[in-house]
Structure 1
Amino acid sequence: MATLKGKLLIASPALVDPNFARTVLLIAEHTRDGAMGLVLNRPSGDAVVESVEELDGFVALDDPVYVGGPVQMEAVMVLAEFEEPSRAAALVVEDVGFLPADADLVELSGRTRRAKVFAGHAGWGPGQLDAELEEGSWIVLDPDVDELFSLPPEELWSAALRRKGGAYALLARMPEDPSLN
């Protein structure tokens, strides 16, 4: 089994589950025991100041909290691009990883380039993600770290499909509801 850790999963246009339709996920862990990832393009509507004020100074308080997925919605995770990757609790791809739970935010604030705050995550049991891949629910792509942090969330899905190229670039232009076309 090849690991998908550090890869992006782009929801197929046929995936209609409301938790994952038109999402882009970063897979943080993928083993025989299952997988865990974060939905990168679903802002919750809440700002950091409303949910995790203690992150003041580390991220802008008016930044959105993203819905990382439907599992453990009360759990907050911070995905950051680290100047010193050894400071991450766990690296996911390149110098992008999770902020340690016991991090000294004042010390780390100058040691990260950018960060996003997530509530919850996506999770799969043993073999579940592999089965979803086989049925065509997900399109796999190597991440572009700059895209992860800089693109507006509403543009991430179509941008990832365009970057995948070929027929996928055409899918990027597909309306959410093709019957309205």
Structure 2
Amino acid sequence: MNISAVPKAGELLVCSSGQGAGFFDQAVVLLLDNDESGAIGVALNKPSTTPVSNVLPAWADQLNPPPVLFAGGPVTPNGAICLAKVLDRSEEPPGWRPVVGDVGLLHLDTPVEIVNGAYSDVRVFAGYAGWEPGQLEGELKRGVWFLSTLHEEDIFGTSTEGLWRRVLRRQGGEAALLSAFTEDPSRN
């Protein structure tokens, strides 16, 4: 996938700060949409300790491990967004809208009985990251984010620990150097 000058759905935003960026410290955000209304995405590497079964019990058996809510971002943290990879793209299941390839948004009001067996991967996020029109592009120009290509395991992999470093390393150059960042500045 070519990285565009204007970020688009399906690309990754990788925070250039390993420290001091609040929620976005070492965040890897999947961009879900970017248009004249602004941009939205979800952080892929911020699992919480809250089991999805506590909040959406009917969905617990559909999830990839770990079966917890992921903190998608600071906007509307009490709302949920679900990403799902459809098994058969020739038949779009009800309640699903594609984002990139076989991965899309799945409406959580869709009856689980209909969803069962239609997806190979499912993950639920609490909240999302949002940008006003032009804000994300400005942050990219200031170096707040690296724009990166998506690998499927970035979304649904079982280990989110170290995702920030892995994505930076595969970028090469300055981003790869940043992946060696340590929490203790004296070790840098």
TM-score norm. by structure 2 comes to 0.87
Deviation at 1:155, TM superposition (A): 1.4
Partner of 2:17: 13
Does the 8 Å CA contact 2:65/2:158 hold for their aligned counterparts?
no
Picking from 129, 137, 143, the partner of 2:136 is: 129
Deviates more, 1:55-64 or 1:68-77: 55-64
Deviations 1:26-81 (A, max 9, x none): 00000121000001101121111222212133226961110000011111111111
Residues 151 and 49 from structure 1, CA distance in 2 versus in 1: closer, same or farther, beyond 3 angstroms? Answer: closer
Q: Take 2:51 and 2:117, find their aligned partners in 1: how far apart are those partners?
A: 22
Picking from 48, 51, 57, the partner of 2:55 is: 51
Gaps of 5+ in 1: none
Q: Which amino acid aligns with 1:43?
A: P
Partner of 2:114: 107
Residues 77 and 180 from structure 1, CA distance in 2 versus in 1: closer, same or farther, beyond 3 angstroms? Answer: same
Deviation at 1:152, TM superposition (A): 1.3
Match of 2:161, SS state, is helix
Deviation at 1:177, TM superposition (A): 4.0
Picking from 161, 164, 173, the partner of 1:157 is: 164
Partner of 1:75: 79
Does the 8 Å CA contact 1:65/1:119 hold for their aligned counterparts?
yes
Q: Which amino acid aligns with 1:70?
A: P
Does the 8 Å CA contact 1:48/1:60 hold for their aligned counterparts?
no
The percentage of aligned residue pairs carrying the same residue is 34
Does the 8 Å CA contact 1:69/1:119 hold for their aligned counterparts?
yes
Residue 22 of structure 2 corresponds to residue 22 of structure 1 = no
Deviates more, 1:117-126 or 1:162-171: 162-171
Match of 2:22, SS state, is coil
Q: Which amino acid aligns with 1:2?
A: V
Does the 8 Å CA contact 2:82/2:108 hold for their aligned counterparts?
no
Deviates more, 1:13-22 or 1:36-45: 13-22
Gaps of 5+ in 2: none
Deviation at 1:106, TM superposition (A): 2.1
Q: Take 1:27 and 1:62, find their aligned partners in 2: how far apart are those partners?
A: 22
Q: Take 2:65 and 2:137, find their aligned partners in 1: how far apart are those partners?
A: 37
Does the 8 Å CA contact 2:12/2:149 hold for their aligned counterparts?
yes
Residue 68 of structure 2 corresponds to residue 64 of structure 1 = yes
Picking from 36, 41, 44, the partner of 1:40 is: 44
Q: CA RMSD in A?
A: 2.0
Partner of 2:97: 90
Q: Take 1:17 and 1:94, find their aligned partners in 2: how far apart are those partners?
A: 31
